Structure 1
Amino acid sequence: MILSRLVRRIKPTAAFICPKRPFLFPPVRSNMSEYPAIRRDESVTESLHGNIIKDPYRWLEDPDAPETVEFVNNQNTFFQSIIAKNTWKETFRERLTKMFNYERFGCPFKRGDSYYYFHNSGLQAQSVLYKQDSLTGEPKVFFDPNTLSEDGTVSLNTYSFSESGDLFAYALSASGSDWVTIHVKSTKDGATGEVDDPVHWAKFTSIEWTHDEKGYFYTSYPKPENVSGDKAGTETNQNTNAALYYHRIGKPQSEDVLIWKDPEHPQYMPGSVVSDDGKYLIVSISESCDPANLVYYFDLEANGINERPQFVAVKDKFEYSYSYITNEGSVFYFTTTDGAPKRRVVKYDINNTEAGFIEVVPERDDLLEDVSVIDHNKLVLIYLQDVKSVGYLYSLEGSQLAKLPLPVGVIVSSLSSKKKSKELFYSVISFLSPGVIYRYDVDTLEQTVFRQVHLEGFDDSQFETKQVFYPSKDGTKIPMFIISRKGIALDGSHPALLYGYGGFNISVTPTFNVTWLTFIQNLGGVVAVANIRGGGEYGEEKWYNQGKLFKKQNCFDDFQHAAKHLVSGGYTTSSKLIINGGSNGGLLIGACVNQAPELFGVGIADVGVMDVVRFHKFTIGHAWVSDYGNPDKKEDLEYILSYSPLHNVQSTKPYPAVLLCTSDHDDRVVPLHSYKLIAELQHTARNNPQPLCIRIETKAGHGAGMSTKQRIDAATDKFAFAGAVLGLEWRA
């Protein structure tokens, strides 16, 4: 979520509840005496802008307190007692493990004289990076994260090859934390060991090599106090005072050159890129997750690398987003929302600044999602058209050369190109296709299949995906995908899963998810993915801005009306509807089960932002004021109080079964959000007929970097919970 645009989801098929036969086991009903005892401190209150805010579980904000540790253990024990009543849990796990066990490939990319690609044989904890001398050469393991930890919880966070391809810098995350340690190794055959000492306490960083290969730029935050080893990522300290450094290979980190820091604006966040020609360092500054940013550059060739160099402004006011594409000498190319809420391509001559930004590719009706440069002077443009990908090849002068022959209804999930190369690779997926990698020849304009992924035992011809557009509360038409077996009866007999996100300008696009397919095939389910406002599907003006700040309620209305559409359309009934979302989507679930509990049978909220009064006080939460507002401002706080999940728990209407999921190393949305909400739910709604539970993962973070086993275990537990509550039947 909520910063680096790392986001992801679930899906459906055959095996429905037969109303003419009894369930294999009775649905779970909660017994309130079973809930673990939780101390409630009624004395903790504060007055904010005249509002008295009670916070009886603030003590849960300390992750290391013995009482918090006991709380975690007790809650996990209670949750396991609930799902233990599910008779097909292990059958689900076995089936899901079999579904996960298929080969997965990444797009090949060339660095130096060699090609690289990621590959997972099926059940490997982390994907492995392979190297080969040519596209048809013998692949060799180049970097295997699975050798770094016994349980597969050390993962590759980001990486970068030097200009010649001789050096490989890679950042490792432990237990899913956003903290990473940067290492460097040689790419030459036979080379072993690292060529440099590790760089510690990097976060939200890229790795940008200077073309002389003497070092790289990276972003770091101050090391939190009293945190080390495997505790990194469990702290809740605010992440402020980010700094951009240059690290010289062979030198200690203590001698790294400070390139950028702004003590007067401690919440500013820098990002950097070295220009394609190696002459310039471009720095982008954000003050929150709002897409508006500042852009500066520094002439590396003329000035070398110095402490706090004098940058030149390209854009020094937060108004629009600007993202560097490439440059031809002094002419820089950017994508921007300036004058184009759905983005356009512009150029800017740093030697002729009076001319300003000149349009190269105008805004289209579709959302410009991705741009890359290839063959020196050509642009590959990927657009989102009603939440499906279309692509074009343009010249740097702005003329359209070709339309990419993409299959209809797919999403370009990854794209590989280099400015000096004529080869373009892209991977496409859909809800029913695990992926096809294409090679595109920019000279002949021909697309050929490079590699196709197959999932044994899965016949996509038995399934179908529909896209519908349903009206929300205010009449806005909201797109939603519905995935099911073909020809299902629309008689309300099916359990359904509704997924949503709705925030941070992030588009929720089709994805291949074997967990959803297992739900469809073996539990008779239907999966729906609602593209609610707050996301980026139709651009900032029409979609993102209509679901943030004082319009955040639109997100909740859109989602609740998606549920109503599924029921009125005969796909399911409210009592059989499971809703799910993660991160900002977890907030969505928390708000909706408070506002309209009667619409749902089960609510599953992953790593959610639940205390919207105090979110800005922990780790990187201050960056989210762009979407939620600033609770330190009276007007913002009063709107936040209308929907914050923690502050709207009620006892007037029964809740559906609720499962909150979080992780102990989540330093993006710290677990205290979910801890406090489940404590409040179990207290205020203690007579609820359905269970209110939490699942707390260990050695995991916000989602990225989880091992395959952790993903299987988490999915098994969630569907075991839903199955136990709804009395779902397993069908072979």
Structure 2
Amino acid sequence: MRRSFLLALLLGSPMTQLAAAVPAYPVTARDAVVDTLFGVAVADPYRWLENDVRTDTRVRQWVGAQNAVTNGYLETLPGRAVFRQRLTALLDYERFGLPRKKGGRYFYTHNSGLQNQAPLYVRDTIEAPGRLLLDPNAWAADGATALADWQPSEDGRHVAYAVQDGGSDWRTIKVLDVATAQPTADTVAWVKFSGIAWAADGSGFYYSRFAAPAAGDEFQAPNENQAVYFHRLGTSQEQDRKVYATPDRPKLGHHAQVSDDGRWLVITSSEGTDDRYEITVLDLRRPDAPPRTLIPGLVNNWSFIGSVGKKLYFVTNAAAPKLKVAMIDLAERDVRPVVLVAEDMATLDGAALVGDTLILSYLVDAKSEVRRYSLTGKPLGAIALPGIGSAGGFNGKAGDPETFFAFTSFATPTTIYRYDARSGRQVPWAVPKVAFDPADYSVEQRFFASKDGTRVPMFVVHKKGLDLSAGAPTLLYGYGGFNISLPPAFSTTRLAWMEQGGVLAVANLRGGGEYGKEWHDAGRLANKQNVFDDFIAAGEYLIAEGFTTRAKLAIQGGSNGGLLVGAVVNQRPDLFAAALPAVGVMDMLRFDRFTAGRYWVDDYGYPAKEADFHVLRAYSPYHNIVGGRDYPAILITTADTDDRVVPGHSFKYAAALQAAALGDKPRLIRIETRAGHGSGKPTDKIIEEAADQWAFIARWTGMTVAAPE
């Protein structure tokens, strides 16, 4: 309170008016950096902000100055404390992860409510009480060290678990003795983009890693030459056996899975983010046998879902843009995939082999529908879902009598169900008790026409009975890339926005996976502008249909969605009142030079290729900020440990916005410490960030934020 009062005095404005003023931004030095690319002069005056904030004093001072201005501004927003209080109350409920059954034991995560990280528990039988195995909340005072991936051994005696520190993509794998709940001495470092696949006998596990990076390059150097290793329990990492590598193709990444019977190691190799894979198989019963390539060429999606004996089951988009299920029999000399479940009008979104059944999840206009098939492809009927929403999970293997799945929707918190694969019976296993009534909310799906006439779906959610006579403050969210779908999903943070009378709209843009490969292809590479056109059309539709007005419309997106927000703000600044670009890819001419950026060329193209350069230059958020137009209020969010989309993207974008004449609304950047691209973020940081974002857009969309009764 005292600090806010002093800020008001220093800036010469009453507190009630301070939030409307553009704050005095820190001065950002401009360097004379100009690249000439394919005959085009491209200025990059803020390149120095690409340097690592951990090691560059100049960048660190800039971050501190920006955060001081942003925090000073956010402190003046009257809704901030209300949102923080309500988010804290809404998040204070039990949340369970999907159980994994191994050796007759059930392993699962459970957050009691406001714990920063979810601890890992085990039940020795399904009826037994949970026993605590790991509590990551004790790992760091600030709660920013997280339990990432974890996998029990087949006999249930050990759990290999990955530790994520400060939001980084790097992982350290450790091993826990389940009987004693004590860690062993096993430690595997410098693991990234890896699964954990146990040998059938529990002697060790397979994982993927890169070479240890040079000092100072840990969070920025490109990731190349990933290899698959086997770690035997009780040995040091230096003794780990390299199982598979492709040094002649350093850009390939490799993901290892062990077949259901433990005989085959199935290695899926890829070069970028596209679902274009090579499949290689190793016979684990014959260690001297050479690897056998089943699917060469990086042409199609071949996702391994399970096995029975020598028969391997895959999901593939080979001659099936919306995907199908095929089987490969390793007993055959020549690999000839046999189609078991043909392509459907709906998009196949997930598949599992449980017991003697294939369980397939489809997206029907971005909503889940789950069907059962025999292992020969005979339809066995659908699995009834609790309503319109999203279902996921169904993890298992051949012979399992049961599995678990999660169901969620925009107003329905994630509920876990136990499913009997033989009888088809399902019963709730974990039902959350929440501080609101889901029946109070309306969820509907609308379709709108994009610029070229393409029909695009969008979910619209708000409180029932909301007065829309003058339009309501509306948050429009989008992603549109990398074949990622946005089905209905519950979000506590979004609920806090809707409780205050806000509308939530989620647009299923091209570039995503809602309608298969063709939908993805229509929104990437030279077609990327379609994504921006779709998002702009979504905003125009919401206004035309009376949900909102230009003065009340805010937009949000993260990562590739941050790029989306940055691009459409440049193209249509008149359409939006406020914007929340998070951890965005903002410099489209240099994205491939850092960490995982090289993978993204599948969706974006190559900046070093002339045709791709011109496409990228035309929409790159950093390069297309033009002064002389009124821009919406913008709050950029990023984090100092983001080694997926390095924070230099957001730093440079913020500096360019603040240097341009863009009207009288603020352009601020909020830089979190000890956090990364999003995964592993502790609950308290989630609450603080969401409260800041909602208070910011509430101010600029005219929302009156009221304290709960």
Whether 2:381 is the aligned partner of 1:402: answer yes
User: C-alpha distance in 1, partners of 2:684/2:281?
Assistant: 44
User: Could you tell me how far 1:206 is from its partner in structure 2?
Assistant: 0.5
In structure 2, the residue corresponding to 1:566 is in which secondary structure?
A: helix
Q: Is the 8 A contact 1:127 1:145 kept in 2?
A: yes
Q: Which residue of 2 aligns with 1:62?
A: 51
The match for 1:606 among 555, 561, 582 is 582
User: C-alpha distance in 1, partners of 2:199/2:419?
Assistant: 30
In structure 1, the residue corresponding to 2:618 is in which secondary structure?
A: coil
Q: Which residue of 2 aligns with 1:463?
A: 441
In structure 2, the residue corresponding to 1:544 is in which secondary structure?
A: helix
Q: Is the 8 A contact 1:83 1:724 kept in 2?
A: no
User: C-alpha distance in 1, partners of 2:76/2:429?
Assistant: 47
The match for 2:651 among 675, 679, 683 is 675
Tell me the alpha carbon deviations over residues 248-286 of structure 1, each in whole angstroms, 9 at most, x when there is no partner: 222211121112222222211111101111111111110
**Count of residues paired in the alignment:** 692
- TM-score, length basis structure 1: 0.92
User: Could you tell me how far 1:416 is from its partner in structure 2?
Assistant: 3.6
Q: Is the 8 A contact 2:114 2:683 kept in 1?
A: yes
Structure 2 counterparts to residues 166-185 of structure 1, below 5 A: 166-185=157-176
Whether 2:256 is the aligned partner of 1:281: answer no
User: C-alpha distance in 2, partners of 1:580/1:178?
Assistant: 23
In structure 2, the residue corresponding to 1:482 is in which secondary structure?
A: strand
Whether 2:294 is the aligned partner of 1:314: answer yes
The match for 1:44 among 20, 33, 40 is 33
In structure 1, the residue corresponding to 2:394 is in which secondary structure?
A: strand
Q: Which residue of 1 aligns with 2:334?
A: 354
User: C-alpha distance in 2, partners of 1:658/1:535?
Assistant: 25
722-731 or 489-498, which deviates more: 722-731
User: C-alpha distance in 2, partners of 1:461/1:676?
Assistant: 44
The match for 1:106 among 81, 88, 97 is 97
User: Could you tell me how far 1:461 is from its partner in structure 2?
Assistant: 1.9
User: C-alpha distance in 1, partners of 2:26/2:172?
Assistant: 38
User: C-alpha distance in 2, partners of 1:126/1:71?
Assistant: 30
622-631 or 213-222, which deviates more: 213-222
In structure 2, the residue corresponding to 1:547 is in which secondary structure?
A: coil
- TM-score, length basis structure 2: 0.95
Q: Which residue of 1 aligns with 2:477?
A: 499
Q: Is the 8 A contact 1:161 1:168 kept in 2?
A: yes
Structure 2 counterparts to residues 16-27 of structure 1, below 5 A: 25-26=16-17
User: C-alpha distance in 2, partners of 1:621/1:150?
Assistant: 31
User: Could you tell me how far 1:27 is from its partner in structure 2?
Assistant: 7.8
Whether 2:701 is the aligned partner of 1:717: answer no
Q: Which residue of 1 aligns with 2:42?
A: 53
Q: Percent identity?
A: 40
User: Could you tell me how far 1:192 is from its partner in structure 2?
Assistant: 4.8
User: Could you tell me how far 1:209 is from its partner in structure 2?
Assistant: 1.3
Q: Is the 8 A contact 1:30 1:688 kept in 2?
A: no
Q: Is the 8 A contact 2:305 2:314 kept in 1?
A: yes
User: Could you tell me how far 1:196 is from its partner in structure 2?
Assistant: 3.1
Q: Which residue of 2 aligns with 1:207?
A: 196
Which AA in structure 1 matches 2:134? F
Structure 2 counterparts to residues 512-661 of structure 1, below 5 A: 512-522=490-500, 524-541=501-518, 543-661=519-637
User: Could you tell me how far 1:197 is from its partner in structure 2?
Assistant: 2.7
User: C-alpha distance in 1, partners of 2:240/2:470?
Assistant: 63
User: C-alpha distance in 2, partners of 1:269/1:369?
Assistant: 23
Q: Is the 8 A contact 1:27 1:724 kept in 2?
A: no
User: Could you tell me how far 1:344 is from its partner in structure 2?
Assistant: 0.6
User: C-alpha distance in 1, partners of 2:234/2:201?
Assistant: 14
Structure 2 counterparts to residues 314-393 of structure 1, below 5 A: 314-354=294-334, 356-375=336-355, 377-393=356-372
Q: Which residue of 1 aligns with 2:134?
A: 143
Q: Which residue of 2 aligns with 1:699?
A: 674
Q: Is the 8 A contact 2:475 2:502 kept in 1?
A: yes
User: Could you tell me how far 1:355 is from its partner in structure 2?
Assistant: 5.8
User: C-alpha distance in 2, partners of 1:184/1:424?
Assistant: 25
Q: Is the 8 A contact 2:460 2:503 kept in 1?
A: yes
User: Could you tell me how far 1:294 is from its partner in structure 2?
Assistant: 0.5
Q: Is the 8 A contact 1:502 1:532 kept in 2?
A: yes
137-146 or 639-648, which deviates more: 137-146
Q: Which residue of 2 aligns with 1:12?
A: none
Which AA in structure 1 matches 2:608? D
Which AA in structure 2 matches 1:65? D
In structure 2, the residue corresponding to 1:412 is in which secondary structure?
A: strand
262-271 or 445-454, which deviates more: 445-454
Q: Which residue of 2 aligns with 1:187?
A: 178
Q: Which residue of 2 aligns with 1:35?
A: 25
User: C-alpha distance in 1, partners of 2:255/2:400?
Assistant: 26
User: C-alpha distance in 2, partners of 1:700/1:669?
Assistant: 12
411-420 or 606-615, which deviates more: 411-420
Which AA in structure 1 matches 2:203? K
Which AA in structure 1 matches 2:413? P
User: Could you tell me how far 1:503 is from its partner in structure 2?
Assistant: 0.3
User: C-alpha distance in 1, partners of 2:181/2:152?
Assistant: 17
Q: Which residue of 1 aligns with 2:8?
A: none
Which AA in structure 1 matches 2:28? I
Q: Which residue of 2 aligns with 1:120?
A: 111
After superposition, the Cα gap between the structure-2 partners of 1:77 and 1:355, relative to the gap in structure 1 and judged at 3 Å, is: closer
User: C-alpha distance in 2, partners of 1:445/1:133?
Assistant: 24
Structure 2 counterparts to residues 218-297 of structure 1, below 5 A: 218-227=207-216, 235-297=219-281
Q: Is the 8 A contact 1:208 1:217 kept in 2?
A: yes
Q: Which residue of 2 aligns with 1:510?
A: 488
User: C-alpha distance in 1, partners of 2:562/2:543?
Assistant: 22
Q: Is the 8 A contact 2:18 2:76 kept in 1?
A: no
Whether 2:422 is the aligned partner of 1:443: answer yes
Q: Is the 8 A contact 1:28 1:690 kept in 2?
A: no
Which AA in structure 2 matches 1:242? Q
User: C-alpha distance in 1, partners of 2:143/2:530?
Assistant: 40
User: Could you tell me how far 1:128 is from its partner in structure 2?
Assistant: 1.6
User: C-alpha distance in 2, partners of 1:332/1:137?
Assistant: 35
User: C-alpha distance in 1, partners of 2:305/2:145?
Assistant: 32
Q: Which residue of 2 aligns with 1:6?
A: none
User: C-alpha distance in 1, partners of 2:183/2:22?
Assistant: 56
User: C-alpha distance in 1, partners of 2:524/2:181?
Assistant: 50
Whether 2:402 is the aligned partner of 1:423: answer yes
Which AA in structure 2 matches 1:140? R
In structure 2, the residue corresponding to 1:155 is in which secondary structure?
A: strand
User: Could you tell me how far 1:203 is from its partner in structure 2?
Assistant: 0.5
Q: CA RMSD in A?
A: 1.7
User: C-alpha distance in 2, partners of 1:348/1:168?
Assistant: 31
Q: Which residue of 1 aligns with 2:663?
A: 688
Q: Which runs of 5+ in 1 are unaligned?
A: 1-23
User: C-alpha distance in 2, partners of 1:246/1:441?
Assistant: 34
User: Could you tell me how far 1:415 is from its partner in structure 2?
Assistant: 3.1
Q: Is the 8 A contact 1:107 1:415 kept in 2?
A: no
Whether 2:62 is the aligned partner of 1:71: answer yes
Tell me the alpha carbon deviations over residues 394-445 of structure 1, each in whole angstroms, 9 at most, x when there is no partner: 1101111121011231211433434332112211010011132222223322
In structure 1, the residue corresponding to 2:129 is in which secondary structure?
A: coil
Q: Is the 8 A contact 1:153 1:700 kept in 2?
A: yes
Tell me the alpha carbon deviations over residues 110-158 of structure 1, each in whole angstroms, 9 at most, x when there is no partner: 2112122221111011112211122211221122111211221111111
Which AA in structure 2 matches 1:475? G
